[in-house]
Amino acid sequence: MAIFGVLLSALLYYSETSKARALISRTSHGVTLFIDGYFTEIVHTVAVLEENKEIRDAMALGDDARQRVLDGYRSITKANKNITYIYSGYENGLMLINDWTRPAGFNPTTRPWYRAAMATKNGTSIGLPYQEVKTKEWLVSTSRALKQPGGGYGGAVAVDCSVDQIIHLISQHDEYKTEFSFVMDRSGEIIMHPDQSVLGTLFPEREKILQQVSEGDLTYRSGNVEYFAHYNRIMSTGWTVVTGVEKKEILRPIIMEMLSLLGLTGVIAVVMGRVQSVLLSRRLSRPLVELGKKIKATIAGDEQDGDEYVYPNNEIGIMALEIGQLAAKELTAKTRELEASEEIYKTILMASPDDITIADLSGNVIMVSEAANRIFGYDPCEGPGMSVMDFIVPEDHERARANIVKMIHENYTGPNEYRAIRKDGSCFDIEVNNSLIRDRQGNPVRMVLIVRDITNRKKAQQQIQALVHQLEIERDLAQRNSLTDSLTGLSNRRFFDTVLQAEFSRYLRSGSQLSLIMIDVDHFKNYNDHYGHLAGDDCLRQIARTLKVVVERGTDIVARYGGEEFVVILPDTDIQGAAALAGHIAESVRALALPHATSDTADYVTISLGVASAAGHVLTDSSQLVALADQAMYQAKNNGRNRSVVLSASK
């Protein structure tokens, strides 16, 4: 009955909607025929006027002939109430029209009706509706070009007809309150509509209509309202008439009828079901109900109250009796099998080296294994009634609760590590893996926690981490020693070569500035011979500290090049900046005032500096820049020491 009701409802829906679309189509056809007939008469009138010789030759005729033309226009206007104006315009500016005074400077050849006629030539042009300024009447101009005897076109004749009747027609309601029609032109622009505010707008479904056949059904939405509609093409004008009705007005009575039909079907179904229940209860339903009761009692292990039901001697009764006996036999066998399985699982549970705890979803302990005594100091009989939080230090309670929630909702199994508490109050480390016990519907009912003592493992991990940390310290120290000069603490020659190569590659790639300062301590061998090597080492350390202070940019590199030689890498620095820095370095070393009794240059320690820049030289390798700085430094030595020499650019 339910299927029958649904089928009837579907049939009613399609029948009523088809009927509604047929009514909409009929209205659309009626409006189309009216507009087509209306404009066919106007088109024929314009065609007849175009054939009139006096109208075509009006530019060459006298006033009498022109008056006859105007009299003819007046006669046609009186005979046809739909025609408001008949007029003709010519290329020389002449215009013939009754009861209308042309304003100054009016030129008919610039008017839309005249241009449309000239563009169409042999055909008839129908313009768009416009509102007459004085009467506020809606008019449409239909025009045709006037062919001249010698060939070509010298003017156009036009008829302005009222479309108020059409607008009144498309505003009428036929079968539905929300029914209306409107007209759109060949581009999809709405030119006639009961609501003047939408004139000039584009119809949203215009592409679908203009690309299809001359008529058809469609459904469209305007704002929040959905419409059933039908469209027809007007053959005489090329316009399209669309008639629409709000979808809810059509569907509301259909839905009410469908609900009534479904309700009636439901009542019939209930009545028939009740009759069937009464008629078939003794033969079919009662034996099956009693069978269900017996099976439930057998599963629960209960004895049935009252006299035992006697199954009827028919097919259903015999089948129910046999099923009941078979169910009792199978349930007894399954019970024994489950009892044996329970003993096996209990043996495995108690033999596990890890504590296995079963708790409800709130964390209340139901059972613990034998390992709980060894791990926590509790006997298995002490576990039930406790909370799983009783075995964990308070600082880890919040994290433990969060992991339980995560397990229940995301099936998270761990492992998780906590600080645990034994029965005697001592603390140790445990690892917990989680799992859920679910019912037949898949809902969690219990949780299983497998607990392992990881105290020894944690100690081993800590020892390994300490060893790794020590190895990292030794590795970092070795790495620093490999790149640092042990005497001065500056970068060593190896680090200098690596950085210079990188900066030189960047210089070649980006065209940035790169300069180098080579430094040598004057008469340092004499200093060592006179003061001793320990004093010499201290002298080099003081000069290194001075270089660190003077060369303060983070991108600059100061390195010990070898013996008493130092070198400074200056990225993004031109030759002038490098020369200024070299002078500052020399002045700072002199300011140390380290005594040098065996120097031929001064009474204190001095240095010679060579400055070179990669810019202005054709260099292909970083070693060439080093050679330039070294050359400049030796020029400083040859020029008397205690000075700096800047190697000028040369191509």
Break the chain into its structural domains and give their ranges.
352-458, 484-646
Spatial distance between the Cα atoms of 154 and 156, rounded to a whole number of angstroms: 7
484-646 and 352-458 share a CATH fold: no
Spatial distance between the Cα atoms of 525 and 402, rounded to a whole number of angstroms: 74
Spatial distance between the Cα atoms of 419 and 429, rounded to a whole number of angstroms: 5
Name which of 142, 122, 171 is nearest 82 in CA terms. Answer: 142
Q: Which residues contact 424 (CB under 8 A, 6 or more apart)?
A: 377
Residue 78, helix vs strand vs coil:
helix
Q: Which two tokens stand for residue 123?
A: 């055909």
> How high does pLDDT run on average in the chain?
84
Catalytic residue among 249, 370, 564, 565: 564
Residue 566, helix vs strand vs coil:
strand
CATH of domain 352-458: 3.30.450.20
Name which of 180, 176, 177 is nearest 168 in CA terms. Answer: 180
Spatial distance between the Cα atoms of 561 and 567, rounded to a whole number of angstroms: 6
Spatial distance between the Cα atoms of 339 and 331, rounded to a whole number of angstroms: 12
Class of domain 484-646 as given by CATH: alpha beta
Name which of 158, 137, 145, 155 is nearest 85 in CA terms. Answer: 158
What is the DSSP code string of 112-147? HHHHHHHHHTTSEEE---EE-TTT--EEEEEEEEEE
533-550 and 524-531 helices cross at what angle (nearest 10)?
130
At residue 651, the pLDDT reads 40
Query: Any idea what the Cα angle at residue 517 is, between residues 516 and 522, rounded to 5°?
Result: 155
Active site residue 342: no
Instruction: Let me know: does 621 contact 557? Beta carbons within 8 Å.
Output: no
Residues 133-188 have pLDDT tens digits of 777 788 888 999 998 877 788 899 999 888 887 887 787 766 788 888 888 888 88
Q: Which residues contact 178 (CB under 8 A, 6 or more apart)?
A: 245, 246, 249
Return the DSSP state at 367: E
Residue that is written with structure tokens 């020399």 in the block: 586
Q: Which two tokens stand for residue 355?
A: 């504590």
315-351 and 286-300 helices cross at what angle (nearest 10)?
20
Biggest CA–CA distance in the chain, Å, is 141
Name which of 354, 347, 348, 377 is nearest 433 in CA terms. Answer: 354
At residue 338, the pLDDT reads 60
The torsion region of residue 511 among left (phi > 0), alpha (psi -120 to 50) and beta comes to left
Name which of 481, 605, 598 is nearest 543 in CA terms. Answer: 605
- N-to-C CA span, the chain: 105
Q: Which two tokens stand for residue 484?
A: 């640092």
Q: Kindly compute the dihedral angle of the four CA atoms of residues 589, 590, 596, 602, in this order, to the nearest 10 degrees.
A: 140
> Is the preceding peptide bond at 415 cis, omega within 30 degrees of 0?
yes
Spatial distance between the Cα atoms of 646 and 516, rounded to a whole number of angstroms: 10
Spatial distance between the Cα atoms of 578 and 587, rounded to a whole number of angstroms: 14
Other beta carbons within 10 angstroms of residue 516's beta carbon come to 26
At residue 642, the pLDDT reads 95
Strand partners, 89: 95, 156
Q: Which two tokens stand for residue 97?
A: 């029209």
Name which of 616, 626, 358, 631 is nearest 499 in CA terms. Answer: 626
At residue 415, the pLDDT reads 86
Q: Which residues of the chain have pLDDT under 50?
A: 651
Helix (H) or strand (E) run with residue 44 in it? helix 2-51
Spatial distance between the Cα atoms of 87 and 155, rounded to a whole number of angstroms: 11
